[in-house]
Amino acid sequence: MTKQEKVDFVINTLKELYPTIPIPLDHKDPYTLLVAVLMSAQSTDVRVNQITPLLFEKADNPYDMVKLSVEDIREIIKPVGLSPMKSKGIYGLSQILIDKYDGKVPQTYEALEALPAVGHKTAAVVLSQAFGIPAFPVDTHIHRLMYRWNLSNGKNVIQTEKDAKRLFPEALWNDLHLQIIWYGREYSPARGWDLDKDIITITIGRKSVIDDYYKKKK
């Protein structure tokens, strides 16, 4: 298969598997999504979705959030991990949103990445999922699958993002990054992987990855 045929196979397979695409993190607006994505660092979406209702019951906007103390926020979000850093980030970004943006979440990478505890991936998720701005956030699933599918060299997430944006049409980025995440969780996980059920990897995957898989099974 040519590289373009592989890309088309990925697009068509994912569209068939995920015609409607759920958003992993529960939220109601750009602010609650921003907080939820920040909380998801080195945690799971399931755990975050269990904790955000407790936090948002007390504060679901920056004005109410800064009425809490950093310690208050930390106590609520402790189960998601890294709570000292995340609580300071949530409080700090909430104050900045009030001071600089009238309590609204900005819609540029530059402004988002200038907020406390907000990195490139978090900014990309917010731009994509909250505002519909084309972005291709790369998480561990996308990084793993782009390598398995021989569509990226696996050096780092920065390179993987560049490769994804180069290969896939911009109009599909917002859907594709979510479809790949769901596919990675269901069909091509890091652990408990059953290659025989992973139709994309077994069809277009990197030969060395497939060979290693079957060697380990012997």
Given the residues 121, 155, 198, 218, select the one marked as catalytic: 121
Q: Are 195 and 211 in contact (CB under 8 A)?
A: no
CA nearest to 29, candidates 131, 115, 121: 131
Catalytic residue among 6, 86, 139, 198: 139
Q: How far is CA 51 from the centre of its chain?
A: 18
Check if 29 is active-site: no
Identify which of 63, 57, 112, 55 has the alpha carbon closest to the alpha carbon of residue 87.
55
Other residues' Cβ atoms within 10 Å of the Cβ of residue 144: 19
Instruction: Count Cβ neighbours within 10 Å for each residue of 108-130 and write b for 16 or more, e otherwise.
Output: ebebbeebbbbebbbbbbbbbbb
Instruction: Tell me, yes or no, if 139 is annotated catalytic.
Output: yes
> Catalytic amino acids?
121, 139
